Structure 1
Amino acid sequence: MEKIIYNGKLSERAKIKVDIEDRGYQFGDGVYEVIRVYNGHLFTGDEHLQRLMESAESIGMKLPYSIIEIKTQLNELIRVNQLSSGIIYLQVTRGVSQRNHLFPSADTVPVFIAYTREMQRPTAAMEKGVSAISVEDIRWLRCDIKSLNLLPNLLAKQKASEAGCFEAIQHRNGVVTEGSSSNVSIVVDGIIKTHPATNLILNGITRKVMLEICRQNNIEIKEETFTIEELLQADEVFLTGTTTEIMPIIEIDKSKIGNGTPGTITKQLQRYFKEKVAECCSVPTKAQ
């Protein structure tokens, strides 16, 4: 029987019900994270949990457990569900309270849940590259908070799917921000450009790993904005994300990027990323 974490305890998933007045259900009043698991290990777990705490603080909510306590719970969940390759999804809502736009009383207990899902690395897509469309970014102005309010992202992703594409790359007045569920970077003359970590994008954990890889391997990178025109004319375009890793984009709006195959720098980053995963997660854990 699959186990989940519900308010700090291992529980059977089938026995847990969501209260109709949970503020996450009624208002999207909460935050979440998705953490990759390789060979039974959390990858960049500390970074994800730190961001969870920062997102909670940004909406005036305190996590019900410390980062160390949450990490211990997640490792136990990996063990009991025997997860080797996949993800852990976790979210915290402001709790159950009579519906009111105002925050509930201070003694309202946040609701914390986490569950696992098996998921293999998208190796075929990473080798061949994927296509994307560009869409207007209609989201709010606090995209740096990983909140449960994802409707604009869903609309963009659905539009991409209906166009037969992997991702929707968003822009505000022609300035590229990020994908619907990923960060986006371009390569021009050997230099990587990616949107700076402002309130207009989520500072992705895989994005951070990519920046670290670039610094360690003397790959020049500029955290600065670029336009749709620059995107379409770039030598290479790639996405970064927890489930997508380093994903080449070979076509946008039916226009070929570069020569229409994954570029040299993108493939280098993929190799370096794989090495990072191996350093962290090469041997399955026997006990957490």
Structure 2
Amino acid sequence: MRNENILKYGILNGEVVDSDKIEEVLKTNKVKVYDVLRLVNSKPLYFENHLDRLNRSIELIGYEDRYYENDFKKDIEKLVVKSGRTNNNIKTTYFEEDQPIKVLYMVKSTYPKEDKYSEGYKTILMYEERENPNAKVLNEERRKIVNEILKDVGADEAIFLTENKVVLEGSRSNLFFVKGEKIITSPDERVLLGTTRQKILEICEKNNISVLKREIMLDELNFFDAAFVTGTSIDIMPINRIDTIRFSTNNKVVKKLTGLYNKDKLEYLKNYKRA
């Protein structure tokens, strides 16, 4: 996490400690489960969904402890009060040595401007597949390689592709396609179960928007009307191209879903209860 923590301190097992201590703790070679939450006006967006995903990842790795709702909320609030930052991303990391280790700190956060949503993301294909896709585990080497490639080619995101030409997900986002009135996305067992993805699926079910989960092959990408990715910092981001395949960023289904999602966000934040 070198240079990742933007503050001079963070939270370690419920206590405020300096950033050097956190950096030292995170040097372990133990498998690390992590998640990134987005603060909106000091409230962690979709907190319960993030909590569930963290604990599911911990269970999949085989660790024994878990995150507890009230303690986790208190740690977030402690960091918000001390830093004064109310709109920022918070990263939490978990692993077990002699005892469970829970670390929390703020990271550099950038959110797309409005014109980016009109323009859409330029994405590239990359042969890559997560070993245990349902567990959100740190892989710093892969992240470094992906970031370098994206910078070199001037792309916004990389879309993972298997050796059998199955299109899966983004390197840090979930992937959806649109055909007519229907949304198509990868099966749950093949991808990281992102919090925003989960919320999109819930919204679709509530609003009778048809969703089909199935394998998506590379040679059928030209078949789709639109594509978009979802994530904590980007919400719903239209894709304008995957390699040389172009998509509309003005699709009515994507626009409808974006409106429903934004409405859901506001409602959630209005009703959020602090620790």
Superposition TM-score tier, normalisation by shorter sequence = 0.7 to 0.9
**Residue of structure 1 equivalent to 2:3:** none
| Residue 186 (str. 1) matches residue 177 (str. 2) | yes
Q: Which amino acid aligns with 2:89?
A: I
Give the superposition deviation at 1:182.
Answer: 0.5
Aligned counterpart for 1:57 among listed residues 56, 59, 78: 59
Give the superposition deviation at 1:111.
Answer: 2.2
Structure 1 residue runs of 4+, over 4 Å off? 282-285
Give the superposition deviation at 1:65.
Answer: 5.1
Cα separation, 1, equivalents of 2:152 and 2:223: 24
Q: TM-score, normalised by structure 2?
A: 0.88
Q: Cα deviations across residues 34-74 of structure 1 (Å, max 9, x unaligned)?
A: 01111111111111112111211212213365233122211
**In the alignment, is the contact (CA less than 8 A) between 2:30 and 2:96 conserved in 1?**
no
**In the alignment, is the contact (CA less than 8 A) between 2:51 and 2:67 conserved in 1?**
no
Cα separation, 2, equivalents of 1:46 and 1:281: 12
Cα separation, 1, equivalents of 2:30 and 2:223: 38
Cα separation, 2, equivalents of 1:64 and 1:189: 42
| Residue 16 (str. 1) matches residue 21 (str. 2) | yes
Aligned counterpart for 1:249 among listed residues 239, 249, 256: 239
How many residues are paired up? 267
Q: Which amino acid aligns with 1:128?
A: E
Secondary structure at the aligned position of 1:176 is classed as strand
Q: TM-score, normalised by structure 1?
A: 0.84
Q: Which structure 1 segments of 5+ residues have no match?
A: 96-107
Q: Which amino acid aligns with 2:254?
A: T
Counting aligned pairs with the same residue, the percent is 27
Farther-moved stretch of structure 1 (32-41 vs 147-156) = 147-156
Secondary structure at the aligned position of 2:261 is classed as helix
| Residue 221 (str. 1) matches residue 211 (str. 2) | yes
Q: Cα deviations across residues 66-113 of structure 1 (Å, max 9, x unaligned)?
A: 233122211222232222212110001223xxxxxxxxxxxx023221
Query: Matches of residues 126-145 of structure 1 in structure 2 within 5 Å?
Result: 126-140=117-131, 142-145=132-135
**Residue of structure 2 equivalent to 1:71:** 73
Distance change (3 Å), C-alpha of 1:152 and 1:231? farther
**In the alignment, is the contact (CA less than 8 A) between 1:28 and 1:147 conserved in 2?**
no
Secondary structure at the aligned position of 2:175 is classed as strand
**Residue of structure 2 equivalent to 1:99:** none
Distance change (3 Å), C-alpha of 1:219 and 1:45? same
Farther-moved stretch of structure 1 (147-156 vs 273-282) = 147-156
**Residue of structure 2 equivalent to 1:273:** 261
Distance change (3 Å), C-alpha of 1:139 and 1:186? same
RMSD: 2.4
